[in-house]
């Protein structure tokens, strides 16, 4: 208290709020629509405790960390103003006559030849990060165990030296291939024993010296995690380390050290898995080069890692008991809890974002383009304390100048284009900073609207990737039919009133889209006579959007194949088969689909190579 008996205040903040802000924690934030939300005092204190803030000590994230980049910070972009196109897909969803019930790196090579042959310059992929081999039903690629490593279930086992057909049961293979959903548990049960047998018959090799050197301590810890995880699951515990007995949770503890010594060979196996996965991914990238793709693989980098995965196990940079999410908005009235563990913004500030730099250096080595999921995380993440919901969360700031410098250096070093997923609650000025440093914006037709209707593609920015929708949104057919609104209502994500309002808005949106197409001579006046969008309409919308001046344009493989159902419904888990649906057609059938040929031909004309 001051001498006047009033709380000490500075710039309108009380002591708790000042301490919070000095650690990057925002006492209030602006939500979508410009509404200001004040964080509860309990949230500020919980985040301060989680960040390890000491009473009376100021934090390293003060007002000097503004939303700006250092002069000269610039990501790699190709010279000139070329306009390329590519295909975005979920690798697991690919059906083929040879894969084992899940799309794999060999399918990716075939896709490179097919898509490169029709003029595509890149293949955009879901995150390929390592998940949980001992819990394959944990299948969300955006909730990885470790972002530094790959998911071995994508390895094409049948192409490895030492494989012979009698290693895999033909009936099991047929069942896994024929299912409409990826049976992750079945795929793991079939692939992992065969991989182990190939490894044993090869003499039990370790990873190559290059992979060991690159992965270093992180690779050894990840391999140890996978081996302990399998042991724990066999004992009836969970796959994640937070579900293990207390004396097993300490990565440096006696139990874990003794296990590592007893199971040294098993650790070598898991390191070898990462080696062969990296080799096959590199072969797929080489196939893109051979197909004439100027960009090649466009990989996705998740915003965080599962709190019980190998990336968080014994990692002092991870904030304990805190989850990343999003505040309530138009699509999710209760907000979102992504269940991901954030890296400490305080630690990032203290180390000039060196841990993030290491992540970016590794990620850009594998990709011609890298999509940063929830790019606003370079500046702020919405954090939810333990035992609280999204409505009680608030934003925490990161040292954005350091983060951008680290990203730009990795991008230039490996000549990797960077795309920032700037959707949702975008802070004022953030997109301007992205453009300044050469991070491409993410412009989605379904969201690019103003009071007059859809923003004309001609008005899209040059430094952007344009597309119709993404993995978190409906396919074009699903959007046209309004299935996404029905699904959100059925899963209690929106109220009856909101569903009615959104359905009415969708009717207006469809009419506006047809009007825009008619104005360009791409569609005759009038609504189609069917509930579903005709192929000609799907192709016309893609052709219109491809005229945007944006450097990149992505068409979803689901739209090329005429799919209806969504890949994922955000804020659902077991209620919907997220990340499991396969395409209705095989890889071998794709080039014969009339819609595939029509859209590919239109895009090749609108965006020719060179």
Mean pLDDT per 10-residue segment, the chain (610 residues):
39 79 91 85 94 79 77 94 95 97 98 98 98 97 97 98 95 96 98 98 93 89 98 98 97 97 97 98 98 98 96 94 87 83 92 94 95 97 93 94 97 98 92 97 95 95 96 96 94 92 95 95 84 94 97 98 94 91 97 98 94
Contact 466, 541 (CB under 8 A): no
Contact 569, 487 (CB under 8 A): yes
Element housing 395 (H / E): strand 394-397
Listed by start position, the domains of the chain span: 131-277
The pLDDT of residue 330: 67
Q: Environment class of residue 579 by beta-carbon count within 10 Å: exposed (0-12), middle (13-18) or buried (19+)? A: buried
The pLDDT of residue 4: 34
The pLDDT of residue 5: 37
Contact 505, 519 (CB under 8 A): no
The two tokens of residue 572 are: 């659902």
The pLDDT of residue 477: 96
The pLDDT of residue 6: 38
Alpha-carbon gap, residue 487 to 34, rounded angstroms: 27
Alpha-carbon gap, residue 509 to 487, rounded angstroms: 18
Q: How many CA atoms lie within 13 A of 594 on its CB side?
A: 4
Residues facing residue 318 across a β-bridge: 343
The pLDDT of residue 13: 60
The pLDDT of residue 333: 73
Q: Pairing state of beta strands 394-397 and 552-556?
A: unpaired
Greatest C-alpha distance within the chain: 86
225-229 contact pairs (CB < 8 A, 24+): 225/145, 225/146, 225/309, 225/310, 225/313, 226/133, 226/134, 226/270, 226/310, 227/259, 227/260, 227/263, 227/266, 227/267, 227/270, 228/256, 228/259, 229/132, 229/133, 229/134, 229/135
Alpha-carbon gap, residue 167 to 185, rounded angstroms: 18
The pLDDT of residue 3: 36
Q: Is this model's pTM higher than 0.85 or not?
A: yes
Contact 364, 17 (CB under 8 A): no
The two tokens of residue 127 are: 């995150």
The two tokens of residue 588 are: 């071998």
């Amino acid at each position: 208290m001051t001498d006047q008996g009033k709380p000490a205040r500075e710039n309108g903040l009380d002591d708790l709020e000042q301490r919070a802000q000095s650690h990057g924690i925002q006492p209030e934030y602006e939500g979508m629509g410009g509404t200001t939300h004040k964080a509860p005092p309990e949230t500020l204190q919980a985040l301060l405790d989680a960040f390890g803030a000491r009473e009376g000590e100021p934090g390293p994230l003060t007002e000097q960390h503004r939303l700006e980049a250092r002069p000269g910070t610039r990501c790699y972009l190709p010279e000139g103003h070329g306009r390329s196109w590519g295909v975005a897909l979920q690798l697991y969803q690919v059906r083929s006559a040879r894969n084992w019930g899940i799309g794999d790196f060999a399918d990716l090579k075939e896709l490179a030849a097919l898509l490169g042959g029709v003029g595509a310059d890149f293949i955009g992929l879901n995150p390929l990060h390592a998940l949980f081999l001992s819990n394959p039903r944990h299948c969300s690629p955006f909730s990885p165990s470790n972002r530094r490593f790959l998911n071995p279930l994508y390895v094409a086992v049948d192409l490895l030296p030492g494989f012979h057909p009698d290693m895999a049961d033909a009936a099991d293979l047929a069942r896994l291939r024929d299912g409409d959903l990826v049976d992750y548990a079945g795929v793991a049960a079939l692939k992992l024993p065969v991989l182990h047998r190939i490894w044993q018959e090869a003499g039990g090799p370790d990873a190559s010296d290059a992979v060991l050197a690159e992965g270093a301590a992180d690779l050894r810890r990840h391999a140890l995690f996978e081996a302990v995880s399998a042991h724990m699951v066999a004992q009836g515990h969970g796959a994640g380390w937070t579900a293990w007995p207390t004396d097993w949770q300490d990565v440096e503890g006696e139990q874990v050290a003794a296990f590592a010594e007893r199971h040294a060979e098993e650790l070598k196996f898991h390191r070898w898995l990462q080696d062969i996965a990296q080799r096959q991914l590199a072969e797929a990238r080489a196939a893109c080069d051979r197909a004439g793709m100027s960009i090649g693989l466009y990989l996705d980098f998740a915003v965080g890692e599962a709190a019980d995965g190998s990336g968080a196990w014994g990692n002092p940079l991870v904030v304990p008991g805190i989850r990343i999410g999003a505040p309530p908005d138009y699509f999710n009235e209760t907000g979102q809890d992504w269940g991901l563990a954030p890296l400490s913004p305080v630690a990032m500030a203290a180390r000039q974002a060196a841990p993030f730099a290491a992540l970016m250096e590794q990620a850009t080595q594998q990709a011609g383009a890298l999509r940063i999921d929830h790019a606003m995380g370079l500046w702020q993440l919405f954090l939810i304390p333990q035992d609280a919901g999204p409505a009680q969360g608030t934003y925490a700031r990161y040292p954005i100048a350091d983060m951008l410098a680290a990203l730009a250096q990795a991008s230039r070093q490996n000549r990797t284009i960077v795309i920032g997923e700037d959707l949702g609650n975008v802070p004022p000025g953030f997109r301007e900073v992205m453009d300044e440093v050469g991070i491409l914006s993410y412009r989605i037709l379904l969201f690019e609207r103003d009071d007059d209707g859809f923003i004309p593609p001609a008005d899209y920015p040059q430094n952007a990737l344009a597309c119709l929708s993404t993995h978190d949104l409906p396919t074009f057919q699903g959007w046209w039919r309004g299935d996404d609104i029905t699904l959100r209502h059925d899963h209690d994500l929106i109220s009856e009133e909101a569903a009615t309002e959104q359905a009415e808005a969708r009717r207006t949106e469809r009419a506006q889209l047809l009007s825009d197409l008619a104005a360009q001579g791409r569609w005759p006046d009038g609504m189609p006579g069917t509930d579903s969008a005709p192929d000609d309409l799907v192709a016309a919308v893609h052709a219109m959007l491809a005229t945007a001046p944006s450097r990149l344009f992505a068409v979803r493989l689901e739209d090329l194949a005429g799919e209806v159902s969504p890949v994922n419904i955000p804020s659902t888990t077991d209620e919907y088969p997220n990340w499991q649906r396969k395409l209705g057609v095989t890889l071998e059938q794709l080039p014969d689909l009339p819609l595939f040929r029509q859209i590919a031909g239109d895009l090749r004309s609108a965006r020719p190579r060179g």
